[in-house]
Amino acid sequence: MSARRNCPGPARRRRISGTSWPPASELLRVTAPAVPERLVGPLVNVDATLAQGVADGLGMALPAPQPLAIEELGLAPVDSEVDASAWLSLCAPPGSAQTAGRRVTLLVADGVDCAALREVQRLLLQAGAGPRVGGMRLGRVMCSEGQAIEIQATIEALASVLWGAIVLPGGMTALAVLNTEDKALTFLKDQSKQGRPILAMGGVGRHKLSAAGVAVQPNSGGAASAGNTSHTHHTDPAPIFSQAADDCAACFIAAVGATPAWGA
């Protein structure tokens, strides 16, 4: 119990607290106070801080911990041999270290920087990934160089959890368009929450992250982290790469392969 309780990192603990705890969304529909009390009570025995976050999200006082069966039977408590185990975390698996087969979204709009986009697309295809050009609607968008790019999938059809990473190409006009689209901002924020690698091409890509409410902090190695917690490529929060960094595309592609494949 102790090892499993201590395996989530700080970012993941915050994510599953409040109404993000899976049963909480159902408990919000329950009008009998005794029901959420009975479900949150056992959680107090697991982690009181997490239980408090869930209780706050449900608008209820923290209930008393559920009596332990081992105490009711008069048995001696069992001491865990392991206090914490990083390998019990959902972020522990390092992935296959292979980019082949991973799906990557290239989010575009009218005015996108086509040259840089095509180069990243070429590198991803060379690594065996499946880059797809995503936009707000099907059809074509015009690049800043005057070329046209065919949209392969729309935001409506791009469930963020099914994509292994996202590329934000440059282009001030494209940035202005995407910043007005709530669905695009939500998709980007969800990618960050899921710890997916993000390639923000130049200052334009960074502006896009800010518009989505993704806090970017510098980190060593030419990458930045989304949030306040340090990371490696396979942990939370999402690694963010900037076009200004040397070899950023290669580092981004390596991070795509190192991320656990949760549906991507």
Q: Residue 10 sits in a domain of what CATH number? A: 1.20.1370
Q: Are residues 134 and 84 in the same domain?
A: no
Q: Are residues 216 and 146 in the same domain?
A: yes
Q: Domain span at residue 231?
A: 103-258
Mean pLDDT over residues 212-227, rounded?
A: 50
Q: Are residues 107 and 84 in the same domain?
A: no
State which of 53, 88, 123 marks the end of a domain: 88
The CATH number given to whatever domain includes residue 174 is 3.40.50.880
Other Cβ atoms within 10 Å of 183 Cβ, number = 13
How high is the pLDDT of residue 84? 67
Does the reported pTM lie above 0.95?
Answer: no
Using the CB atoms, write b or e for 128-143: b if 16+ within 10 Å.
ebebbbbbbeeeebbb
pLDDT at 90 over 70: no
Other Cβ atoms within 10 Å of 115 Cβ, number = 12
Q: Are residues 107 and 175 in the same domain?
A: yes
The residue among 60 and 89 whose pLDDT is bigger is: 60
Alpha helices in 21-68 (DSSP H): 24-27, 34-46, 48-58
Q: Are residues 82 and 110 in the same domain?
A: no
Burial label, 254 (beta-carbon count in 10 A; 0-12, 13-18, 19+): middle
Q: Are residues 129 and 249 in the same domain?
A: yes
> Is residue 96 domain-resident?
no
